[in-house]
Amino acid sequence: MNKDKIDLKSLTQEQLEEFFSEFGKEKYRVKQILRWIYQRHVTDFEQMTDLAKQFRSQLEERAYISSWQPEVVETSSDGTRKYLFRLADGESVEAVRIPMDEGRATLCISTQVGCAMGCQFCMTGKFGLARNLRSEEIVNQVCAALQDGPITNIVLMGMGEPLHNLDHVVTALKIFYLDDGLGYGTRRVTLSTCGLVPEIKELSQRIKVHLAVSLNATTDELRNQLMPVNQRYPLAELMSACRDYALTTKQRVTFEYILIGGVNDSITDAKRLVKLLHGVRCKVNLIAYNEHEGAEFKAPAEESIKAFQSHLLQRDIVATLRASKGQDISAACGQLKGKQVDKPAT
């Protein structure tokens, strides 16, 4: 029944102002709507009592406000929660709520149904790409998860490559940042990419967001094998783009490095990584590979992890080790969509 109506969750503040101008309404009405939608979680125009009744009726004729509820919620022994959302076309995506210290929580959200990048260590890529998520589908993951409590940070590193869906992602980021809406500052949102160089450059010109780059190898030969995107945008081009991004945005770039046992976790790899990062304002987030059923790779040994991190720290590179959470519900890094959920029968 909403086929010919516009979803207000798909619109930025500027787009809402343009939409409301068609009704002859003042710009401040947009802030009222934003507060109703994102702070009070109201989806029925009739409940928006500070809007004139005629205006509410006009909105009802032209627009609607989507709302999501997860089809399945799984809770890990460590408190991590994985949400599966069924989309209108029968496809599904997942988001993960990760508990942090002092009552904080990070939400990892998806930007595509599946992924086209084909990284060898990632379960999501095994299913290929079905389609991009629309901006409101990205935003609704956050809105739905907020019903379980506050979310401190958002990371776009669930299913999909965010920069492969750049327009909808930029729109969603603008919605996240709205002071009268969800109110997330740019420091509280991170976008993770496998390294689409032209889009990294475009992103720096369009909107501010903390950038995380999935690196995972220190030679083109190995990265070509692990991440096919490297065949198109090799390390020299990627590192140049990252240097420029840090300079343009005045933000430190995070490099994610998944340590795979016997593949990229040696001290020799660590030495090459130090050289590779020279001149880039950055930090390194080390992630131990999460094994899964049928995986061709192995998790690194504990001593290899410690030695790798220690080598970076001794060279004055900020290197943190991400604690892996949610493995028992296939919610850890690289595991989303690991358990295929069939579409409901029609």
Active site residues: 94, 333
Query: What long-range pairs does 291-298 form, CB within 8 A, spacing at least 24?
Result: 292/123, 292/330, 292/334, 292/335, 292/338, 293/338, 296/120, 297/120, 297/121, 297/260, 297/261, 297/263, 298/260, 298/261, 298/262
Report the interhelical angle of 166-176 vs 197-206 (nearest 10°).
Answer: 30
Q: For residues 262 and 193, give the distance between their C-alpha atoms in angstroms, rounded to a whole number.
A: 24
Q: For residues 336 and 338, give the distance between their C-alpha atoms in angstroms, rounded to a whole number.
A: 5
**157 and 211 in contact (C-beta within 8 Å)?**
no
Q: Which residues of 277-312 are buried (b: 16+ CB within 10 A; e: fewer)?
A: beebebbbbbbbbbbbeebebebbeeebbeebbebb
**The two structure tokens encoding residue 27:** 């710009």
> What residues pair up with 131 in beta bridges, in sequence order?
113
Residues 6+ positions from 52 with CB-CB distance below 8 Å? none
How deeply is 116 buried, as exposed, middle or buried, from its count of CB atoms within 10 A (0-12, 13-18, 19+)?
middle
Q: For residues 50 and 46, give the distance between their C-alpha atoms in angstroms, rounded to a whole number.
A: 10
Q: For residues 234 and 182, give the distance between their C-alpha atoms in angstroms, rounded to a whole number.
A: 37
